[in-house]
Amino acid sequence: SQQGEEDPQALSIQEGENATMNCSYKTSINNLQWYRQNSGRGLVHLILIRSNEREKHSGRLRVTLDTSKKSSSLLITASRAADTASYFCATDAGPRDMRFGAGTRLTVKP
């Protein structure tokens, strides 16, 4: 069963705009991770945020975590066509168990 749920399911924006994706989960977690997947290929790890962290940055990526609301958001600033992909959040539903959400399909139009 899936732990996280991303919102929206699909997002279409113009190059240069910001993209925000949200993830909600059900159980307590130790950490939450975001991954990107280009069509039909393997996933690429983007960022990991631990349950005692509220915000984390990596380049054009900004991730926030609100454990009281059991939610996280991924912000991609100044998007590029190459950012077109599916984005997944993954939580450690514990013990030693990772679960992925259904993903947000992001399309960045040039």
Partner 1 sequence: KAGVTQTPRYLIKTRGQQVTLSCSPISGHRSVSWYQQTPGQGLQFLFEYFSETQRNKGNFPGRFSGRQFSNSRSEMNVSTLELGDSALYLCASSLELAGAGKQFFGPGTRLTVL
Query: C-alpha angle with apex 107: 42 to 78, nearest 5 degrees?
Result: 100
Q: Which amino acid is at 68?
A: S
Q: Is the alpha carbon torsion for 2, 88, 104, 40 positive or negative?
A: negative
Q: Min. distance of Cβ 52 from partner 1 in angstroms?
A: 15
Q: Considering beta carbons, is residue 41 or 69 the nearer one to partner 1?
A: 41
Q: Considering beta carbons, is residue 15 or 22 the nearer one to partner 1?
A: 22
Q: Considering beta carbons, is residue 59 or 95 the nearer one to partner 1?
A: 95
Q: Min. distance of Cβ 33 from partner 1 in angstroms?
A: 7
Q: Name which of 96, 91, 94 is nearest 25 in CA terms.
A: 91
Pairing of strands 10-14, 104-109: parallel
Q: Min. distance of Cβ 11 from partner 1 in angstroms?
A: 17
- Footprint of partner 1 (CB under 8 A): 1-2, 30-31, 33, 35, 40-45, 48, 88, 91-103
